[in-house]
Chain A
């Protein structure tokens, strides 16, 4: 399981970096999303994966008796997912507006000579 996740993380990161280095705005967005997901899985993996032991205490005891699954990485990932959802949706709207204004998907076209600023 760990090995599989490690490979998945590697794939997500490399694909994300590759896409970010492209010129297209849509690929930039996809790259950011892939990197975000890679990071989430990384946190999940580094929180030590334990199978079938939920962090619930048996009624008879006061403290944990056994190795249990760490709930904190899952809380972190949940927070990170919600945040990246908001950021991604903002980014999509922004890129759509830019596309409508510039009429190009190429990041190199985003250099309008200095117009009068406010």
Chain B
């Protein structure tokens, strides 16, 4: 069904960013515009989501060029779910950054760039054209480079060099893959590619091309041999930026992997084994990394890597139940990881440091905030009935029925290590007495009450959504069920894009 409203979220972010560029040095106006724009795009995303729920997959042909010749935008359930989650995270980060960021950073254009980044994310989720996906990836990475380096401290720039080099390399792999794919099929439309790739005789070439895509998306989503850039850069930017990165950027890689593997390169045995090995090693290395870190944000960075492995493992099994687990985990992960970096920012504001050795006594001084944080941490660990628990059930169940015992073991291992490091962090940061009381640099207490509220509100907002995901899991399971049906049987996607030209 043709519907022009698909582009509305993208346009809302674009115009928000442009309006902010007009108020370049007026940071107060920019803050209001940012929160307002985020809320409007959240409303638009909710509308798009309910529309897709009622009408099925929507498409939009740019400049009315019929698919597969023009660029096409497609909103299926997976896309709109991710757009909705991005909007929720966007609202939270936008409110949080309007109180937590220094005015210096805002003067250098934090808010416009942030909205360009969210625009790129929406575009990547909604496009149905593989080259357009590449272009949106570039929009995302160029914005993230600027956000990463904004402020220009030494550690930030050093992290940014690694981040930049690896991400440009990932784009290069992706672009090479697109080039070869165009050479062997002559199409760029993903639905059309799904049909044309089947008639390609040279299966080896198709396999090699799929490796280019897997490497490109693998670097972006930080899987095992390619993740080193993530822990060495994510702890450097301000927490609001790290929240956007940690919650959303690696997940775009996972989204792109799901999309490309479900439509174009349906995983064969080799790809499944490859992804499974990658997934297990990602979980194990991420977990080991998290064990030894004493800085809260470095710990969280390694947990991101560890949990990416869960999702890749689900993709590797590529059955309906496994994909349900992956998508559910994706939904849970975006909310929780964004929130965790916001929490890190709050801890930093409360104590002036993120080193677990120097932290302590937060529960004594701020019991309400600590309880809020505890809910989020429990969700992350997956204490039933909170949100991290449900997707793991699907993944476990499927790992056993597919005899993937290594993955089941790694899943257990990763979950236990997560539990252990989070428990360790909880006791170090919240329970133990601070080692040196006189060194505490509390910047939270002197803040005016409305600022305190605005700082805790986004965390409570995302925490409430996490609780909703956990306690009302049936609704989420229904959505993931629909998504995985569309992914396993891609004919509905193809038919929505190409109409009845399929035969």
Q: Residues of A with Cβ closer than 8 Å to B?
A: 20, 25, 28, 32, 35-36, 39, 42-43, 45-48, 70, 72-73, 76, 79-80, 83, 86-87, 90-91, 94-95, 97-98, 101-102, 107, 110-112, 114-118
Q: How far is the CA of A94 from the CA of B150 in the complex (A)?
A: 11
Could you say which residues of chain A place their CB within 8 Å of the CB of B175?
Answer: 39, 43, 80
- In the complex, the answer to whether B169 meets A97 with C-beta atoms within 8 Å is no
Which of A83, A94, A107 sits near B135, CB closer than 8 Å? Answer: A83
Cβ distance A100 to chain B, nearest Cβ, rounded Å: 9
Interface of A, secondary structure class, is helix
The B239-298 residues at the A interface (CB cut-off 8 A) are: 239, 295, 297-298
Could you say which residues of chain B place their CB within 8 Å of the CB of A90?
Answer: 142, 145-146, 164
Which of B157, B182, B236 sits near A73, CB closer than 8 Å? Answer: B182
Task: Mark contacts of B137-166 with chain A using CB atoms, 8 A cut-off: 1 yes-contact digit, 0 otherwise.
Answer: 010011001100101111101101110110
Cβ distance A116 to chain B, nearest Cβ, rounded Å: 7
Could you say which residues of chain A place their CB within 8 Å of the CB of B146?
Answer: 90
Could you say which residues of chain B place their CB within 8 Å of the CB of A32?
Answer: 165, 168-169, 172
Which of A36, A42, A98 sits near B161, CB closer than 8 Å? Answer: A98
Q: How far is the CA of A6 from the CA of B146 in the complex (A)?
A: 36
Q: How far is the CA of A39 from the CA of B238 in the complex (A)?
A: 35
Most chain A C-beta atoms within 10 Å of own C-beta, residue among B160, B295, B297, B353? B160
Q: How far is the CA of A72 from the CA of B186 in the complex (A)?
A: 9
Q: How far is the CA of A107 from the CA of B172 in the complex (A)?
A: 21
The B350-384 residues at the A interface (CB cut-off 8 A) are: 353-354
Cβ distance B390 to chain A, nearest Cβ, rounded Å: 34
- In the complex, the answer to whether A94 meets B169 with C-beta atoms within 8 Å is no
- In the complex, the answer to whether A117 meets B131 with C-beta atoms within 8 Å is no
Q: How far is the CA of A76 from the CA of B135 in the complex (A)?
A: 10
Cβ distance B73 to chain A, nearest Cβ, rounded Å: 17
Could you say which residues of chain A place their CB within 8 Å of the CB of B171?
Answer: 87
The answer to the question of B176 belonging to the interface, with a C-beta cut-off of 8 Å to chain A, is: yes
The answer to the question of B348 belonging to the interface, with a C-beta cut-off of 8 Å to chain A, is: yes
- In the complex, the answer to whether A28 meets B158 with C-beta atoms within 8 Å is no
- In the complex, the answer to whether A98 meets B354 with C-beta atoms within 8 Å is no
Could you say which residues of chain B place their CB within 8 Å of the CB of A115?
Answer: 153-155
Could you say which residues of chain B place their CB within 8 Å of the CB of A87?
Answer: 138, 141-142, 145, 168, 171
Considering the complex, give the chain B residue whose CB is closest to the CB of A100. Answer: B157
